[in-house]
Amino acid sequence: MRIGIDCRSLLEPEPSGVSAYTRETVRALAQLPETASHQFVCFVNGFRLSHDAVLLSSLRKVADAPNVDWRVRGWPNKFLTSAEVFCSRPHFDWMFGKVDVVFLPNLQFFPRHDHSVPYVLTVHDLSFERYPECLDLKGRWRHRLLHPKMSARAAKRIIAVSEYTKFDVQSLYGISDDRIQVIYPGVAVGPVSAWPDRTASRGSLKRATLARKAGAPATRRVEQSTTTTYVAFVSTLEPRKNVETLLQAMEEVRKQHPQLDLVVIGRQGWNSAKLVKRLHALPYVHYLGYVDEATKRQVLAGAQAFIYPSLYEGFGFPPLEAQQHGVPVIAGAHSSLPEVVGESAVLVDVLDADAVARAIHHVLSDSALRERLIVAGHKNVQRFQWEESARRVLNVLTRVY
């Protein structure tokens, strides 16, 4: 069986959760013993690929196996997107050659009027439907041009990354239960023991790391001390992530924990300019911007707690990444988060800054609660394995064929 996989998200300059999902799913599929009889055709496109051998080589390393064929096109992405939006061209055969089924790991521009090959679509969330006010005009137009409802309804099967996302797909797009399969993504990309020391650094991080503040002077607070005690937040800065409530909670909790700082990691999203300015202005906040994976792991490993006040999540990788490092998690009691972290985290109303502050105080002050959350977090993370996720994805793809 020949399976085409749209891997264009792997070319994101700052890899997101969608990019991680695509990368780890493709890698795990290629490593499954039962896929030896299948051929995978991974499509990537970009003008840089026509002359950047290093980039192309790094892509091939994602899944370097005899049964994986990388189909590379060097078209400018804007040109390809325009062709797909306005002409539904080129067709699937131009992207993948002859294949039996196409796997779309995320909602993407593709030839939606080409019905020559069945496709399976992964839906990560429908935040653009639930919270359109959290998108700028460009983002709203982009999702309108994607025709998400039409694409979902035309899919042979839909993979939802959580029961909550499945509910959204059913209620918003009117798709029947039997066409939607819930398959949780994995989390672990390597043994936790191989990552930065989580015991020596717990609750503190060298100022040399925190000095790398995105767009801010690097020397402002370095002289205060060599280490800092902090809680952490990781995600793109956009209205849906509700960072303002976290800042209000920090003001309150610092009345009882005046030495506590906040480390924020994530690229600047839409409508975040004022927020970023405020992050830089607060003496106890360290905004690092988008960082590489090693730095993110180091920050998580040193945190006293991880706070995730997002208003809406289709799944939510960051809380699980924090739990991998033995960090207690405080998250919202809504959307997919109770499903993903359950009783292994403290769940709160993230619209109530006082409630968030009380939760932070309890986690910092109650050693028994911290220990319970750490143990429960480690156990919870074991539910999410890329090998099992890929095996279930393969089962959906082969049943469609």
Mean pLDDT of the chain: 88
Instruction: Give the C-alpha separation, 282 to 84, whole Å.
Output: 45
Kindly indicate whether the domain formed by 192-381 is annotated with CATH number 3.40.50.2000: yes
Q: Residue 289 above 60 pLDDT? A: yes
Reduce the DSSP state of residue 392 to 3 states and report it.
Answer: helix
CB burial class (10 A; 0-12, 13-18, 19+) of residue 124? buried
pLDDT score at 47: 85
pLDDT score at 368: 97
pLDDT score at 291: 92
* Fold match, 2-186+385-400 / 192-381: yes
The amino acid present at 67, given as its one-letter code, is N
Instruction: Give the C-alpha separation, 201 to 198, whole Å.
Output: 6
pLDDT score at 221: 37
Q: How many CA atoms lie within 13 A of 291 on its CB side?
A: 24
CATH T-level topology, domain 2-186+385-400: Rossmann fold (3.40.50)
pTM of the model: 0.88
DSSP notation for 229-296: EEEEEES-BSGGG-HHHHHHHHHHHTTT-TTEEEEEE--B-TT-HHHHHHHHHSTTEEEEES--HHHH
Query: Model confidence over 373-382: pLDDT tens digits?
Result: 999 999 999 9
Q: Residue 122 above 90 pLDDT? A: yes
Instruction: Give the C-alpha separation, 165 to 168, whole Å.
Output: 5
> In the structure encoding, which two tokens stand for residue 5, read together?
């996989």
Listed by start position, the domains of the chain span 2-186+385-400, 192-381
The angle, 0 to 180 degrees and rounded to 10, between the axes of the packed helices 293-301 and 317-324 is 60
pLDDT score at 218: 41
Residue 45: name the closest of 97, 98, 7, 99 by CA. Answer: 7
pLDDT score at 49: 84
Query: Model confidence over 60-97: pLDDT tens digits?
Result: 889 888 999 999 998 888 888 888 888 877 889 999 99
Spatial neighbors of 316 by CB under 8 A, at least 6 apart, are 308, 310, 331, 336, 337, 340, 341
pLDDT score at 205: 56
* 8 Å CB contact between 63 and 29: yes
Instruction: Give the C-alpha separation, 276 to 350, whole Å.
Output: 20
* 8 Å CB contact between 232 and 296: no
Residue 258: name the closest of 237, 286, 229 by CA. Answer: 229
Residue 324: which pLDDT band, with cuts at 50, 70 and 90? very high
pLDDT score at 386: 96
Residue 188: which pLDDT band, with cuts at 50, 70 and 90? low
Query: Model confidence over 151-182: pLDDT tens digits?
Result: 999 999 999 999 999 999 999 999 999 999 99
Strand 306-308 with 119-123, pairing:
unpaired
> In the structure encoding, which two tokens stand for residue 102, read together?
């196409």
Residue 15: which pLDDT band, with cuts at 50, 70 and 90? confident
Query: Model confidence over 190-227: pLDDT tens digits?
Result: 444 333 343 334 444 554 455 545 555 443 333 333 45
Instruction: Give the C-alpha separation, 235 to 291, whole Å.
Output: 11
Residue 29, H or E segment: helix 17-31
